[in-house]
Amino acid sequence: MSIEIKVPPLPESVSDAMLVAWHKNVGESVSRDENLVDLETDKVVLEVPAPASGTIAKIVVENGATVEAGDVLAILEEGEVSAEPPVAASVAPAEKAAVTVAKKSSGPIKTSPAVRRLLDEHDLDATMVIGTGKDGRITKSDVMSFLKSDDSANVAPGDQQPAVTESVEVGLERTEQRMPMTRLRARIAERLVDAQQTAAMLTTFNEVDLTKVMALRKKYRESFEKKHDVRLGFMSFFAKAAVEALKLYPVVNASVEGTDIIYHNYFDIGIAVSSERGLMVPVIRDVDQMSFAGFESALNDVAARAQAGTIGMEDLTGGTFTITNGGTFGSMMSTPILNQPQSAILGMHSIQQRPMVVDGDIVARPMMYLALTYDHRIIDGKDAVQFLVSIKDQLEDPARLLLQV
C-alpha cells in the first residue's frame, strides 16, 4: 500500500519550513518511526518519522525547497524491510543526501541535524568518521577533525567541496563563498533589527563581587551534586536573584503590546543558549517556584535539547525576562539586545580577579560586570538601576536569596 509522507502541522505562528536534508533515498528501506527528513523552521528543526515500515518509492520535494503543512514530501510503499543495504550506485549523484548508515554491530549511527548537514555538504559517509560523543555519537568537531586528517585523502577531491549557492575564485588560493542564511539566522536578524527600531533601548551597568557566592558554591558543590545528581552552576544564583528583583520592580517583568503594558504575575525566565544552529532562548517556567536543583535540572534539559536541535517550539515562546551569559565566551562587557516583547534583559560576563578597596584595604576579588538593557518607553532609569542594585545586593550576600529580603 502506498502512503504519502506529508509535512506535519507546523508550530503556531510558523507558516512554512525549509527541507534541510533527506536521510533516505529512493529504493531504500525504512523502519517505522525512523527519521526520514529534517524540516527547518525559523525556530526549530522538525523530524518527520516514517509512519510505517517499507521502501521509499518516490521523493517529491528535494533539499532546499520551501514547504507548508500538509505538502506531500515522498511516497512510501508499505511492506517488509529488506535486511540487505541499498546499492549506492543506483542513486543518481543529484539525489545524494546525508544518510544515517548502519554499523555492522551497533545499529544506526546517531547524529544531530547539524552534523548530518555537514556530512552532506562534504559528501561523507557517517561510517568514515569516528564519534567521540556520548555512546559513540558523531559531533561536529569529529567531522572537522576527519576532514583535516589523512583519512580524508581517500575521499575524491570533488566530494569535499561544500554545497554553496555561489563560489567565486579570486586568485590562486583566495576564494569566496556565498551561502544563504539559515531560516533561524534570518529570523534572528529580523528580530534584532525590529527590536532596535521599535524599543527605546538603554543599558545600565554595575559590578558584583562574587566572593560569597563562589565560597558557598565551593563548600556545598560536592554534596549538592551527590544529593540532587546535578551540577551547581552560577546561573541558578543569578536566576533566583533576578526573580526576587523582578518581584520588587514588576515593570521590568512586563511586556509592551501596542499602547498597553502587560504586567506578568509569573516568572518565566529565558536563558540564551548557543547552539550549532545559532542563538536560542529556551524558557524555564515558574522559576520563582523552583529550588536551585530544580532550576539546574531544567536548564540542563533545555540546553541539551537546544544544542541537539530537538527542542520544541513551546520551549522557545512566552518568556517574561531573559538572561544571557557572554562570559562563557570571555566577554568582559556588552550591551545585550531585548528579546521582544520583553522589556528587559540581563547580561552576565566573565568573572575576573580585580583589585578592590574593602574596608580601606586593596584586595583581589572575583568581580563580574552586569548589564541590564531595558525598554525606556516603560521603564524609568531609576527602576532599572535599582533593579540591578537589587541583584548585586543579593549575590554579594546570598543569605538574602534564602530569606527573600
Catalytic residue list: 376, 380
Residue with cell 536560542: 280
For the record, the C-alpha cell of 154 comes out as 581517500
Residue whose C-alpha is closest to residue 253's, from 241, 263, 239: 263
Element (H, E) at 47: strand 45-49
Report DSSP letters for 169-234, one per residue: E-SSS-EEEE-PPPHHHHHHHHHHHHHHHHS-EEEEEEEEE-HHHHHHHHHHHHHHHHHHSS---S
How close are the terminal C-alpha atoms of the chain, in Å?
67
Q: Which amino acid is at 255?
A: S
Report DSSP letters for 248-278, one per residue: H-GGGG-EEETTEEE--SS--EEE-EEETTE
Contact 201, 338 (CB under 8 A): yes
Residue with cell 566572593: 211
Residue whose C-alpha is closest to residue 349's, from 249, 205, 214: 205
> Rounded to an integer, what distance in angstroms lies between the CA atom of residue 57 and that of residue 78?
10
For the record, the C-alpha cell of 354 comes out as 580585580
The radius of gyration of the chain from alpha carbons, rounded to an integer in Å, stands at 25
Question: Residue 27: exposed, middle, or buried by beta-carbon count in 10 A (0-12, 13-18, 19+)?
Answer: middle
C-alpha 37 chain-centroid distance: 20
Contact 199, 344 (CB under 8 A): no
Contact 401, 244 (CB under 8 A): yes
